[in-house]
Copies of this chain bind each other. A is one copy, B any other.
Amino acid sequence: MKKLINDPKNVVNEAVAGFEAAHPDLVRVSHDPIYIVRADAPVKGKVGIVSGGGSGHEPLHGGFVGSGMLDAAVPGPVFTSPTPDPILAATQAVDGGVGVLHIVKNYTGDVLNFETAADLAAAEGIDVRSVIVDDDVAVKDSLYTAGRRGVAGTVLVEKIAGAAAERGDDLDAVAAVATKVNSQVRSMGVALTPCVVPHAGEPSFTLADDEIEIGIGIHGEPGRERIRMEPADAIVDRILAPIIDDIPFASGDSVLLFVNGMGGTPQVELYIVFRRAAEVLAEKGITVTRTLVGNFTTSLEMQGASITVLKLDDELTALWDAPVHTAALRWGK
């Protein structure tokens, strides 16, 4: 394992300190417990939005703290949900008096720790609502699993809920729009190579030189199937089909097409994937009206990509277009 780190135990501490040093105009950082809030938090009269989860998915979530998106991000250890303490502290730090929304990716650990924090915050008199993101169609949503996972679609939920909060929507409305985005967004990913969790020091799984994992999770959890390497277009077809079938997206729909890199994928490859995905959607009569391409929900140095499709309407489009100023997503100001 070769990584640009010091003691593996200090990866999150030191990265957060670096983030603070790099973006003093955008954020303030609490080091104990660890959380990141926007520089002007709490914003009086605005719904606060808190997200978080294990580290290793950067820029998710810290890179999305700032005006028009998250009020706070709570990074746990690498790939491990944060405990309730920092979530509670972050919730208190961003409470502008009109309630706080928790955006939580659907993993048992995240759900349980955010749940405890929400209970504690409620006991402190803060009105907390939670929206669970579960956009990953690789996993069956059945009684026999922990449910679909929250993956790259989370970025879209955070952006759009953030815009709703920024324009002054109340807690119910912000929670409703976040829920709506989650209901209209679907994702699926592919891994070409594994990632190495710093404290583990070894790859989280192995793939032969000619194998890829279809439906990979963002913590290196195995996906739907392990297959032989294929050309990019065939892989795109394979992971896009379950997305389009799931909602179901239909001819005439307008969508946001988001191609996400898993951290170690060259940008040329992301655009090759985008090209094919746009082609397939066009063939189905689905119009791509908004786009996002890049490393936004990563799995450390994993090579691979995920595709996310969000069905848009005028409201969601306007909220997507609304100004945002964070370290990783910025426009309109």
Partner among B4, B19, B209, B268 whose Cβ is within 8 Å of the Cβ of A2: B209
Is B291 within 8 A of A4, CB to CB?
A: no
Task: Tell me if A303 counts as interface (CB < 8 A to partner B).
Answer: yes
Known: A4-B265, A266-B300. A22 touches B59 (CB 8 A): no
Residues of B within 8 A of A56 (CB): 266, 268
This chain's copy number in the assembly: 2
A58–B6 Cα distance when bound, in Å, is 28
Partner among B15, B18, B55 whose Cβ is within 8 Å of the Cβ of A278: B18
Is B5 within 8 A of A269, CB to CB?
A: yes
- The residue of chain B having its C-beta at the shortest distance from the C-beta of A4 within the complex is B269
Residues of B within 8 A of A304 (CB): 4
A55–B210 Cα distance when bound, in Å, is 25
A7–B234 Cα distance when bound, in Å, is 12
Is B18 within 8 A of A274, CB to CB?
A: yes
**Residue tally, chain A, CB below 8 Å to B:** 66
Stretch of A109-117, A154-162, A308-316, A325-333 on the interface side: A325-333
Task: Tell me if A51 counts as interface (CB < 8 A to partner B).
Answer: no
Per DSSP, chain A at the interface is: mixed
What 0/1 pattern do residues 49 to 89 of A give for CB contact below 8 A with B? 00000011011000100000000000000100000000000
What 0/1 pattern do residues 216 to 256 of A give for CB contact below 8 A with B? 00000000000001011101000000000000000000000
Is A298 within 8 A of B266, CB to CB?
A: yes
Within 8 A of B (CB), among A190-212: 190, 192-193, 195, 209-210, 212
- The residue of chain B having its C-beta at the shortest distance from the C-beta of A263 within the complex is B266
Known: A21-B278, A278-B21. A272 touches B5 (CB 8 A): yes
A21–B293 Cα distance when bound, in Å, is 11
Is A15 within 8 A of B303, CB to CB?
A: no
- The residue of chain B having its C-beta at the shortest distance from the C-beta of A192 within the complex is B2
The residues of A with any CB-CB pair to B shorter than 8 Å are 2-7, 11-12, 14-19, 21-23, 55-56, 58-59, 63, 78, 190, 192-193, 195, 209-210, 212, 229, 231-233, 235, 259, 263-276, 278, 288, 291, 293, 295, 298, 300-301, 303-305, 327, 330-333
Q: Please, could you name 26 A-B residue pairs with CB atoms under 8 Å apart, sorted by A?
A: A2-B229, A3-B232, A3-B266, A4-B232, A4-B305, A5-B269, A6-B232, A6-B272, A7-B231, A15-B268, A17-B271, A18-B270, A18-B273, A18-B274, A21-B275, A21-B288, A21-B291, A22-B278, A22-B291, A58-B271, A78-B268, A263-B264, A267-B298, A268-B300, A330-B331, A331-B333
